[in-house]
Chain A
């Protein structure tokens, strides 16, 4: 007792500093963040879906939904994260994708950085949960996920029975890169009853041999409109029966962007895919 008192008497500031630090730490953990920077479009959308859009103070340059975020400061892309401008915004939470250079630097500056993946449905669910906990509104997170699930089910029900089990090629990039079954896009396609021509072992977004696609002869081809238009002109691709029979889903740039956003609008994306598939069935008849 007397020892403890003398220690306190010797360095009272230490005790106070420790107490202050502890208090600050507890506050930092307990208080929901009020100034959020999101460096990933899907996470920006998730924050807004949880009703915390007004707490965002900046986003990456690709975040464009909902419209409210378009007026926020734009903080670069993946490779040119402006550290200084982010720090100047004094965020109490930074949401980021794994990045080898920016994330450690931001953390070294004392910012609270939460790194989240956006590859699969599970990632999106996990991100909503995490954000719900961080923002102190787990009910909203559960509701947002339930809404996605409801839209997915609705979309699946809308797909004509004749198309179930058909094979699909979803092109992400013309080299060609495809959306594999493990990606969030592939998972949605599977949910709609389609079979991916890409084996799961190749990973979420594999680069394919053009031959592979031609040999696989997908029943349905999906791509952004401008890529789909040039597809038949690629050597040998004119032989794709899906192209000959117009069993294709072409998406305008804005619609395509919705499809490749792993976030709260995944259900809406599924409905958009289902809408195209319903149209295909009519054409086939």
Chain B
């Protein structure tokens, strides 16, 4: 057994342990602040089923699942594009999902649906975000003429992001009713996650992670370069499309349930590579674990930092993730 294999097992065990601890912390972190004692008191009270069972538990689990999907998407993006700075959101999926949601809300508002927000079909919004994310990434790939040139790809992603955001702005100026929905969407938050959302996220993760691991050998081959991958007899265009669909699906699902949570997808795979490098089979699963841990940790902090107020968790991950990205760039320059 190599040292790397030991490190991998240690990392997985550590992340699983951290997940368990944070899930417990998430149940204790309430609307009025942080207190395990208050949790025990609450568990004994008749409110427990509602407050803990219906609100805290699903949002805590939902935060972990969202983070796991983003971690998986980040690992997929970085492997697929052979660029350690690739983030699912840098490729236009977030702005695509956001535009689709805004378009849906605007259509609903124009159609008179805003009078009945309770009937706003949640499946519809998830579906719209999913399709939007896929369209955003595909548009980026189209503009970059494939994923060979990483610089061109990132530039195309930036352009697509800006242009699609501009369309979102345009729509919200034309239909101001959609503005609030967009705002809530941009400030990623786990506050409104219920069990129905958790079920969708869990199903998504259960479906996407095994599929991604099936394709992990493609990512391993891509590390050697396109030509080497092709010389191994891999049908690259089809496999690449499959990976893009998985990436967009994971991102779209996470974004549709929790809004725009930045940088978790970027940071999680880096964390894993740093602590326990390995093949993509390991990297994908461990990144999902790490993403879950990162987002859940940020969510617990966001809930307790300014309690009884609550910061949108997307703000927190953007600040920390942004700092991490700057540090990363700095380190690469120094080399």
Provide the bound-state CA to CA distance between A83 and B189, in Å.
12
| Contact between chains at B31 and A80 (CB < 8 Å) | no
Given B114, B194, B308, B311, which contacts A85 in the complex, CB threshold below 8 Å? B308
Does B82 belong to the interface (CB within 8 Å)? no
| Contact between chains at B31 and A85 (CB < 8 Å) | yes
Contact with A along B187-206 (1 / 0, CB 8 A): 10101101010000000000
Provide the bound-state CA to CA distance between A83 and B31, in Å.
8
Contacts of A241 in B (CB 8 A): none
Interface residues of B, dominant DSSP: helix
Within 8 A of A (CB), among B161-196: 173, 176-177, 180-181, 183-184, 187, 189, 191-192, 194, 196
| Contact between chains at B192 and A87 (CB < 8 Å) | no
Contacts of B191 in A (CB 8 A): 80-83, 101-102, 105
| Contact between chains at B309 and A76 (CB < 8 Å) | yes
Provide the bound-state CA to CA distance between A98 and B117, in Å.
7
A160 CB to nearest chain B CB (Å): 35
| Contact between chains at B309 and A108 (CB < 8 Å) | no
Does B269 belong to the interface (CB within 8 Å)? no
**Given A76-B309, A79-B187, A87-B50, A101–B176 Cβ distance below 8 Å?**
no
Contacts of B125 in A (CB 8 A): 100
Residue of A nearest to B122 (CB): A104
| Contact between chains at A100 and B309 (CB < 8 Å) | no
Does B229 belong to the interface (CB within 8 Å)? no
Provide the bound-state CA to CA distance between A82 and B311, in Å.
10
Contacts of B187 in A (CB 8 A): 79-80
| Contact between chains at B180 and A79 (CB < 8 Å) | yes
B45 CB to nearest chain A CB (Å): 10
Residue of B nearest to A177 (CB): B176
Contact with B along A102-146 (1 / 0, CB 8 A): 111101110001010000000000000000000000000000000
| Contact between chains at B115 and A105 (CB < 8 Å) | no
Does A88 belong to the interface (CB within 8 Å)? yes
Within 8 A of A (CB), among B94-136: 105, 114-115, 117-118, 120, 122, 125
Residue of B nearest to A86 (CB): B31
Does A242 belong to the interface (CB within 8 Å)? no
| Contact between chains at A88 and B312 (CB < 8 Å) | no
Given B105, B118, B312, which contacts A104 in the complex, CB threshold below 8 Å? B118
Does B32 belong to the interface (CB within 8 Å)? yes
A91 CB to nearest chain B CB (Å): 12
Does B54 belong to the interface (CB within 8 Å)? yes
| Contact between chains at B117 and A100 (CB < 8 Å) | yes
Does B30 belong to the interface (CB within 8 Å)? yes
| Contact between chains at B181 and A100 (CB < 8 Å) | yes
Contacts of B105 in A (CB 8 A): 100
Provide the bound-state CA to CA distance between A107 and B30, in Å.
20
Contacts of B114 in A (CB 8 A): 98
Provide the bound-state CA to CA distance between A84 and B196, in Å.
17
| Contact between chains at A100 and B120 (CB < 8 Å) | yes
Does B227 belong to the interface (CB within 8 Å)? no
Does A99 belong to the interface (CB within 8 Å)? yes
Does B51 belong to the interface (CB within 8 Å)? yes
**Given A98-B117, A100-B105, A205-B176, A82–B308 Cβ distance below 8 Å?**
yes
Q: List 25 A-B contacts (CB under 8 A).
A: A73-B308, A78-B183, A79-B180, A79-B183, A80-B191, A80-B309, A80-B312, A82-B31, A85-B308, A87-B55, A88-B31, A88-B32, A90-B47, A98-B115, A98-B180, A99-B180, A99-B181, A100-B105, A100-B181, A101-B189, A103-B118, A104-B122, A105-B192, A203-B176, A207-B173
Other than A80-B312, A87-B55, A100-B180, give 8 A-B pairs with Cβ distance below 8 A.
Answer: A80-B187, A84-B30, A87-B51, A87-B54, A88-B32, A98-B180, A104-B122, A109-B194
B residues with a Cβ closer than 8 A to A are 30-32, 47, 50-51, 54-56, 105, 114-115, 117-118, 120, 122, 125, 173, 176-177, 180-181, 183-184, 187, 189, 191-192, 194, 196, 308-312
Q: 3 shortest A-B CB distances, which residue pairs?
A: A85-B31, A100-B181, A84-B31
